[in-house]
Structure 1
Amino acid sequence: MSLKFNVGDLTIHRIVEEEGKFLPALDMLPGLTPDVLAENRAWMKAAGALDDSDTLILAFQSYVVKTPHHTILIDSCIGNDKPRPGRPSWDMKADDTYLRSLAAAGFSVGDIDFVMCTHLHVDHVGWNTRLENGRWVPTFPNARYVFDKTEFDYWTETNAKTEVGPFVDSVLPVVEAKRAEIVRNDFAIGDHTRILPTPGHTPGHVAFAFGRGKDDAVFSGDLMHSPIQTRYPELSPKFDVDPAQAAKTRRDFLEHYCDTATLCCTAHFPSPSSGRIKRKGNGFVCETA
């Protein structure tokens, strides 16, 4: 399993925190029927995306991208010491897997220049902060943290009504430490990094495109969770705020990158998690690079 690959003048590292069984496919994807699952069971199992009990297998990971000028971490996974009662394996987690994986890739927390979040769900912001003397402090002390304004405003409003734990312990402390950049869709880092709006999973969900003058790699976040969604882009998971919009965004994204050289790096597809989008019938496939 490769955790490091090169495309254009980028070097990309996968920092895997967890990979394994998540939720039953028919539960997570309400539009998926038993017949369609049966038709796709064999290739999904062969791809390591489905187990014998029809449970989806997902990865939870960050990507570290080295451009000629910066070291950028995309999505900061689950985190330690955080109350997550809805997901027992994440609740008050206290292991060294993530930081050990980061070190194995050759990085310390001080090496990261930017942390860029595709959205602000629990498993994409967890390592934004760490517990130090009873306080949440930014894990990456030298980094600027990039949050989309639409996304940040949505969770600010939601949190004002009912407290959202991951927003309180993994986003607001970064803002209070004055390490946050609340950005719009025209945000870029030099000539290598751009925002691509991909709403639907959350209102301000974004993807990130990397490459000088062209998209050598794109990081899709939770635009799609499982390879079956490339074959059937209309399948939206139960976590999507706007399933119809998410389905349209997903198809538009896949159509845009179909049969191009752009490497699509997904947040949750099982290893190797990345590939190039090819057309297959009325859908698509993410072919392993």
Structure 2
Amino acid sequence: MEFKLGSKDSQYILQVNPQNKKELLLTFPGTKIKNTSQRPITLDGSLAKSVKFTNENGSGRAVVSLPYDADTVNYKAYIINNADSRRRNSSVLAVDISKKAAVLSRSLQAVAGHVIVIDPGHGGSDSGAVGPDGIMEKNVTLAVAKKVYNILVNNGATVIMTRTVDKDVYAPNASAVQELQARVNVGEYTKNTDIFLSVHANSFTSPSANGTETYYYQSSSQGEKLASLIQDEMVKSSGLNDRGIAAANFYVLKHTSMPSALVELAFISNYREEGLLNADDFQEMMAEAICRAISRYFQAD
């Protein structure tokens, strides 16, 4: 969830309500909130139930109601600059809430014993898309892929990555087919690969384009199922615009023999979403969502 700030230097305190462990209090000392309402804003309930704005003792406060005790989750607030494409100097305060690893791991038992290939899109001589503030897609995809790797391995899966550093998989400045086939080969030549997942960030000429989406190859029913589960978990976790799933003729989907999916985490060309993609907490949240989806996929088998 996000809150617009009057200034990037605005002060804030995020803490558990000492009188109610199922509430987080976000306080802005000495700053009143305009247009407060007695009626809470209802959220989806998966990580937070509602948020209510009040003014107490000269300070504004957002009260975030949780469906569980706050000590069972990770929570953090951080400022995202240039979040509004129409006002480049604007800032927002983002509050991330994510399940702790110990809680998450109980839902990932189904990944144990499976072989998963993770493909961080682009790399080396290919930066991928570049956001308005210079964030490169290749760095975002690698960061998220590494987090996915760590979660899955810690829960008993065998995970192979097409790249683990900033490099080309085939060779610098190779043709598109050579590079993409090299990534496919990792999946094809790894023994007993169960699924292949390629991680990307979206981009469009208009900075207003936003949201997350997932692709699969049209003739793969298992790929479609995997894509649907990943999309569902990413949208539930991030709250981003749900662009849905779609069949696509992408090389890494078409030429892999195992079920595969390609995720577009968010739009790096969007000022707000570029900031999210570059934030460690957002990367972790999306990685956890992907891992939950993979576990659901294997549970359904």
- Classify the TM-score, shorter chain: under 0.3
Q: TM-score, normalised by structure 1?
A: 0.27
* Larger of the two Rg values belongs to structure: 2
Q: TM-score, normalised by structure 2?
A: 0.27
